[in-house]
Amino acid sequence: MTQQLPLGGEARAAESPTDDNTHQIAPDLAYQRLIFVNVVFYGRPGAGDRSWVLIDTGVVGTKASIKRAAAARFGEGARPAAIVMTHGHFDHVGALEDLANEWDAPVYAHVIEHPYLNGQAAYPPGDSSVGGGMMATLASLYPTKPVNVGNRLRALPENGTVPAMPGWQWVHTPGHSPGHISLWRASDRTLVVGDAFVTTAAESAYAAIVQSTELHGPPKYFTVEWDKSKSSVEALAALSPDLVVTGHGRAMQGPEMTEALRTLAAEFSTIAVPADGKYVDHPARAEDGSAYVKV
């Protein structure tokens, strides 16, 4: 039986929300909530053209909202130096093709994730049997076909650096998807984790909208390699982050969050892994990234 880790007020990051639902959480970091998923902006306000980075691109229909938030934060007409993708699930690539083309921006992702961003391979279907609420119930209906930004797609540098994000490192955190990455800045112990873990019950439509602050494992309905997901959360917990920004839910900060993340890692099988689910005992493997293969 899965559990959640509730977090108190001191774990919540200090935020300054704007009219476009953008939340400032550090001098050079903000995230925008788009329905039930977040996109992240790296760069100081007023940075100007090619002086900032967009991390993930929301769901279909959010292009205009992202553009407005970017213009308000960085200046009218300011384009990103890069778009960095934590992974390629439908709720993270919704505006990717349009924004990459309109902004003429390179798109960086782990090379193992490239088949799902260049039109070559589809993800396995979502798993409705994991339970937890309406988002999970509808999972088999979610798009799994890849987008195609192959002409702009670039591999993240093998040395772990992140283009246009000095001081940051990318960390391979597979499990939710084969080439999933998280971003780490050691100087202030900040993590941008995509869906490696989240801070709301992603399976519940109500929780996803209301965003009750709880630490959870990755969204169950799309996680297909639970053993790797466990190892990824363990690796992130070992960093002892102070501030985390997730793909779903509020940004979190403070010692209570750090301790909850350690608990999630230590008790992952009980807290995060669903009691039922077709990928729990039969993970979908993607060792070379070409396509998922059931084993």
Render pLDDT for 142-181 as a digit per residue (tens, 0 to 9): 999 999 999 999 999 999 999 999 999 999 999 999 999 9
CA atoms within 13 A on the CB side of 106: 11
Nearby residues of 105 by Cβ (< 8 Å), 6 or more positions away: 54, 79, 80, 81, 82, 83, 99, 152
pLDDT tier at 134, thresholds 50, 70, 90: confident
Q: CA 113, CA 290: separation in Å to the nearest integer?
A: 9
Say which range, 53-62, 90-99, 270-279, 280-289, has the weakest mean pLDDT: 280-289
pTM higher than 0.85: yes
Say which range, 151-165, 204-218, 239-253, has the weakest mean pLDDT: 204-218
Assign a CATH topology to domain 5-287: Metallo-beta-lactamase; Chain A (3.60.15)
Q: CA 142, CA 160: separation in Å to the nearest integer?
A: 32
Per-residue pLDDT tens for 263-280? 999 999 999 999 999 899
Question: In the structure encoding, which two tokens stand for residue 190, read together?
Answer: 């900040």
Query: Is the per-residue pLDDT at 215 higher than 70?
Result: yes
Looking at residue 82, what is its pLDDT?
A: 98
Looking at residue 22, what is its pLDDT?
A: 94
Domain boundaries, the chain: 5-287
Question: In the structure encoding, which two tokens stand for residue 229, read together?
Answer: 């997901």
